[in-house]
Each structure stands twice: as C-alpha cells, then as structure tokens.
Homo-oligomer: A and B are copies of this chain.
Amino acid sequence: MSKPFAKKYRLIWVYGFVLAILLFILKWLELRFIIYDHAFDIYIGAIALTFTLLGIWLALKISRPKTNTVFIEKIVYQSTFNFSMDHAALAETGLSTRELEVLQLMAKGLSNKDIADELFLSLNTIKTHCSKIFEKMEVNSRMKAIEKAKRIGLIP
C-alpha cells in the first residue's frame, strides 16, 4: 500500500526539491549579479527555460501511453500435409482405433464393401463398425459422420 504511494508521489517530491534548489540558485544569482542591469530578465529566462523543460519532462513521464490494438488476421490454409488429428475430439467421441480407421476409409469415399476388402474383414463387421461410429458420433448417415469428423478435426 505504501510503496505504490511513495512511488506515485516521488515525482512531486523531486519536482518540489528542484524548485527549491532553483529558487536558491536564483537567490544566490540575485546577490551576485545584482550589479548587472538586465540580470533579472536573465533569471526569468533561465527559470522559464528550466521549468519549461521540467514541464516537458514531466508531461512525457506522466502521460500514459495510448494502447493501439492491432488485429492481425492469420489465414490458416487447410492442407492434408500438416494435418494433425485432434486427439481431444477423438477421446470426446469415444471412437476406438478400428472405428477411426473405418471412418477414415469411409471419408475417402469407399463403400462398406471396399472397406471390408481393404481391411480383410467381413462386410457385416464393417456394418457393425459403421453403426457404432454413427451411434458414438450421434449421426445417422456416413455423409453426416464424415462432415462432423472433418468439422471436429478427426479427418483432414
């Protein structure tokens, strides 16, 4: 509590101190150069200059910076190359390895028969997998399953 307070008002102390010193100097100058005719004008000029500079310094010090928020739109191109599956989303769905495999082949446009041949499995097995996939993904057709899989990042 006291620290920020001290810091906050330190400028004022500094300012007051500088003022006092300057007044002292001026007083001294007054005594020394009283003989000169235009000494007073010089004092005034010196004071004006000094305090102007002090004011400038003060202003620069205390002026708070304007925050300038810049939004940069970063376009992310969808590419098959650097695709990385969203494992969190996968866990969310609860799909098993085999089911994900089937889903991926499904997304490639293969029919159940094609997938069965690809994986050396019975057509019935693939159908079972499909049913489970649809159930877990809460859809009712391969089209919607693929659409959702792409949307949630299971498939490129």
- A→B interface (CB under 8 Å): 19, 22-23, 26, 30, 40-41, 43-45, 47-60, 63-78, 106, 108-111, 141-144, 146-147
Contacts and interface: CB of A to CB of B under 8 A. Distances in A.
| Chain A binding surface SS class | helix
B63 A52 contact: no
7 contacts: A49-B51, A54-B55, A55-B55, A69-B72, A72-B72, A73-B76, A77-B78
Nearest to A61: B59
A144 to B, nearest CB: 4
Contact of A68 (B23, B26, B66): B66
A87 to B, nearest CB: 19
A72 B71 CA distance: 5
Contact of A74 (B41, B47, B73, B144): B73
A48 B19 contact: yes
Nearest to A145: B109
Contacts of A110: 143
Contact of A69 (B30, B43, B64, B70): B70
Contacts of A66: 63-68
Given A67-B70, A70-B67, A71-B72, A58 B52 contact: yes
A53 B66 CA distance: 19
A58 B110 CA distance: 69
**Which A-B residue pairs are the 4 nearest by beta carbons?**
A55-B55, A59-B59, A65-B66, A109-B143
